[in-house]
Amino acid sequence: MNPVLPVLLSRRSVRTYQDRPVEDEVKQEVLRATLRAPTAGNWMLYSIIDVTRQAAKDTLAVTCDKQPFIARAPWVLLFLADYQRLYDYFHLCGVPEWCERNGRTLARPEEADLLLACCDALIAAQTAVVAAESLGLGSCYIGDIMENDEAHRLLFDLPPYAFPICLLCFGYPTEQQKQRAQPPRFGPEYIVFDDHYQRHDADTLTRMYAEREADFARGRRPEGIDNLGQAMYARKFDAEFSREARRSVKAMLERWMKGQD
């Protein structure tokens, strides 16, 4: 029996946890696996903040799009795309002086470096999720950590080249959460392509969303909404929290590019 595939195939987001702390030895096992995650050039362009203060969790429950369960999560980890540590090491090693001696312009982290660090951080985060699931822990990703840049930067004392890319909540799931049905996923015919990108035509998109559109039609339709696409746009894509995330990420990108607090 393959022990990994059942863990991956049964995983679902868990937002309700038993009133039970995550044992220190379980945390250490999860982190030990996390730090073995694939990483670009073995540079480990990420950092992890273990959010232990209840006051900080309470704040995140508000600033991350008002999600109270964050405050009740037994274990919360913040994953940062982090070039600050490496860039500080470059300065420690005299790289600016080396560049001056050799007639080279000192490079600063830019957009490509941020994306690479985001990949590192997210790969590490998913490794933590899989390790946690294998030990009986449930988890939930919180992408809303990218909102409210100013508050989060102050809350965690983040330097210019540390970019909060995701928050993870962990805890032992309740029985109700264990029995909850998994949400559907699209089939490979819509997601996996051979050799080149395939842009879906109207008929393919209609088939792709048919089951979800039918579920939407059976429910209570919001006033002024004709179909699932309009509902998704209004509720998520152009919602207040999405607009705040766009504003916040622009502010973080500007700070990253300037390299200034």
Whether 36 is in a domain gets the answer yes
Domain that holds residue 170: 5-182
Residue 161 in any domain: the answer is yes
Helical residues (DSSP H) of the chain, grouped into ranges: 5-10, 24-34, 54-63, 69-72, 84-92, 95-101, 111-134, 149-156, 175-179, 188-191, 202-208, 210-218, 228-232, 240-258
Query: What predicted TM-score, i.e. pTM, was given to this entire model?
Result: 0.95
Would you say residue 193 lies in a domain?
no
Position 214 in a domain: no
Classify residue 50: in a domain, yes or no. yes
The verdict on residue 16 lying in a domain is: yes
Q: Note whether residue 208 is domain-resident.
A: no
**Can you give the CATH number for the domain in which 64 is found?**
3.40.109.10
Q: How many domains does the chain have?
A: 1
Per-residue pLDDT of the chain (261 residues; tens, 9 = 90+): 799 999 999 999 999 999 999 999 999 999 999 999 999 999 999 999 999 999 999 999 999 999 999 999 999 999 999 999 999 999 999 999 999 999 999 999 999 999 999 999 999 999 999 999 999 999 999 999 999 999 999 999 999 999 999 999 999 999 999 998 899 999 999 999 999 999 999 999 999 999 999 999 998 888 899 999 999 999 999 999 999 999 999 999 999 999 875
Does residue 76 belong to any structural domain of this protein? Answer: yes
